[in-house]
C-alpha cells in the first residue's frame, strides 16, 4: 500500500466553476443559500465567484452582490477568481482575502479565455499578485489545460512545469494543476505531478480535475499516492468550462468525500449536509446532478 495521508483539503469550486457553465441565470439569493450550505457542510475553502468581465461570464455578473452578503465570520476561506488588475480591484472592494489567478499551459487556450498569450498573462499576473500581497491577500494560481488543450492537443510536461514555477515564484502559494477538459489518466497525473513536484513543494500543489471521460476519481487516487493532499471539487459534479466545449463537470465533491471517508482519510466535510447543499442547487437548476453519491442519496430519499 502507498503511504496515504491522514487528511486532505477539499477546495469547493462549484459556485464558480460550476455555476459559470450553467446556461440558466441563478438568482443571487439562491447562490448565497448554496454557498452557505456548502460552508455549513464543513468545506474549508470555497471559490465563491469571479470578477471577470460580466460579458465573458454573465452567470457570475452579480459577484459584487454575492460578496457583499457572504458570512464573514464563517470558519472557511472565501476565494474569488480574478483575471487582471480590474478584477483584483473589484475583489479588494468586495472584501476578499484570497484570490485565484488563472493562466494555462497553452497559448491557444489563454487567447480564447482571457485574450492574452501565456507570457502576457504571466506578466499581468506578476503585477496582480504583487498588489494582492501588498493588500494582505493570498493567491492561488491555476494552470489550465495542463494535460490536453481543446485547441492545441497534447501539452508538453515542461510547459506545465515552467508555468507552475512562474506562478510560484511571483508569490502564488498554491498551484492548481488543472485538467480542464477532463482527459487525463493516472499515468498523466504521475508524469505531470512528478515533474512539477521536483520544483515545488508537494503540499502547495492542488489537483483540479474534471470528469469528462470518467477518469477523475482514478486521477485523484493517483495524486493521493504521489502525496497530493489538495483537491478541487464541485458539489453534485457541477461545472465545465465555457471555453472548452464538451468539457463536463468537476469531480463531484460528494464522490470525493465518500471515497476519502471510506478510506479513513479526514476531510472535515459532512456528506449529508453536502447532499443538502447540492439538492438546493439541483432544485434551482431543475435537473439531476452527475454525482454518483448525489444520485444514490437522492434515490434513498425516495
Ligand atoms: N471586470 C470587469 N470589467 C473588466 C474587467 C474585469 N475583470 N477587465 C476588463 N474589464 C473591462 C475594461 O474596463 C474595459 O471596459 P471599457 O470598454 O468600458 O473601457 C473592457 O472590459 C475591455 O478591457 P480589456 O482589458 O481590453 O479586456 P478584454 O476585452 O481583452 O477581456 C478579460 C479580457 C480577461 C477581462 C476577459 O476576457 C475575461 O473576463 N475573461 C474571463 C473568462 C473566464 O472567466 N473564463 C472562465 C474561467 S476558466
Ligand atoms: Zn475547471
Q: Decide if 241 is catalytic.
A: yes
Cell of 242: 465555457
Q: What is the pLDDT of residues 80-96, one digit of tens each?
A: 999 999 999 999 999 99
| Given the residues 76, 149, 241, 301, the one annotated as active site | 241
Residue of 52, 125, 151 with the most ligand 1 atoms within 8 Å of its CB, for mutation: 52
pLDDT category at 1 given cuts 50, 70, 90 is: low
Mean pLDDT computed over 148-171: 98
Q: How far apart are CA 99 and CA 129, in angstroms?
A: 9
Distance CA 38, CA 70 (A): 12
Q: Computed from CA positions of residues 129, 131, 136, 137, in that sequence, does the dihedral angle turn out positive or negative?
A: negative
**pLDDT at residue 114 is higher than 90:** yes
From ligand 2's centre to the CA of 302, what distance in Å? 32
Pocket of ligand 1 (CB under 6 A): 20, 50-53, 56-57, 83-84, 86-87, 90, 102, 113-115, 241, 243
- Give the environment of ion ligand 2: residues with CB less than 5 A: 17
pLDDT tens, residue by residue, 212-265? 999 999 999 999 999 999 999 999 999 866 666 667 899 999 999 999 999 999
The ligand 1 atom nearest the CA atom of 53:
39
| Nearest ligand atom owner, CA of 180 | 2
Residues 6, 265: contact at Cβ < 8 Å? yes
pLDDT value at residue 70? 96
CA 184/CA 104 separation, integer angstroms: 15
DSSP-derived 3-state class of residue 171: coil
Cell digits of residue 286: 431543475
Amino acid at each position: 500500500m502507498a503511504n496515504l495521508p491522514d487528511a486532505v483539503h477539499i477546495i469547493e469550486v462549484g459556485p464558480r466553476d460550476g455555476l459559470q457553465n450553467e446556461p440558466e441565470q441563478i438568482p443571487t439569493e439562491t447562490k448565497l443559500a448554496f454557498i452557505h450550505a456548502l460552508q455549513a457542510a464543513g468545506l474549508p475553502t470555497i471559490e465563491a465567484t469571479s470578477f471577470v468581465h460580466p460579458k465573458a461570464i454573465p452567470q457570475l455578473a452579480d459577484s459584487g452582490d454575492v460578496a457583499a452578503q457572504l458570512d464573514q465570520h464563517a470558519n472557511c476561506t472565501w476565494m474569488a477568481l480574478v483575471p487582471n488588475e480590474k478584477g483584483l480591484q473589484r475583489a479588494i472592494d468586495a472584501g476578499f482575502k484570497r484570490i485565484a489567478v488563472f493562466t494555462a499551459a497553452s497559448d491557444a487556450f489563454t487567447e480564447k479565455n482571457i485574450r492574452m498569450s501565456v507570457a502576457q498573462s504571466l506578466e499581468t499576473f506578476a503585477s496582480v499578485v504583487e498588489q494582492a500581497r501588498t493588500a494582505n491577500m493570498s493567491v492561488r494560481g491555476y494552470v489550465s489545460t495542463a494535460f490536453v488543450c481543446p485547441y492545441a492537443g497534447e501539452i508538453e510536461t515542461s510547459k506545465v512545469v515552467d508555468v507552475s514555477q512562474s506562478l510560484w515564484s511571483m508569490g502564488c502559494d498554491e498551484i492548481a494543476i488543472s485538467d480542464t477538459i477532463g482527459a487525463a489518466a493516472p499515468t498523466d497525473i504521475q508524469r505531470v505531478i512528478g515533474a512539477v513536484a521536483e520544483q515545488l513543494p508537494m503540499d502547495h500543489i492542488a489537483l483540479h480535475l474534471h470528469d469528462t471521460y470518467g477518469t477523475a476519481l482514478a486521477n485523484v487516487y493517483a495524486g493521493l499516492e504521489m502525496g497530493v493532499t489538495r483537491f478541487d471539487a464541485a458539489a453534485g459534479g457541477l461545472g465545465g468550462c465555457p471555453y472548452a466545449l464538451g468539457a463536463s463537470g468537476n469531480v463531484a465533491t460528494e464522490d470525493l468525500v465518500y471515497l476519502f471517508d471510506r478510506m479513513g482519510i479526514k476531510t472535515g466535510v459532512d456528506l449529508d449536509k453536502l447532499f443538502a447543499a447540492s439538492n438546493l442547487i439541483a432544485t434551482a437548476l431543475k435537473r439531476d446532478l452527475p454525482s454518483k453519491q448525489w444520485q444514490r442519496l437522492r434515490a434513498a430519499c425516495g
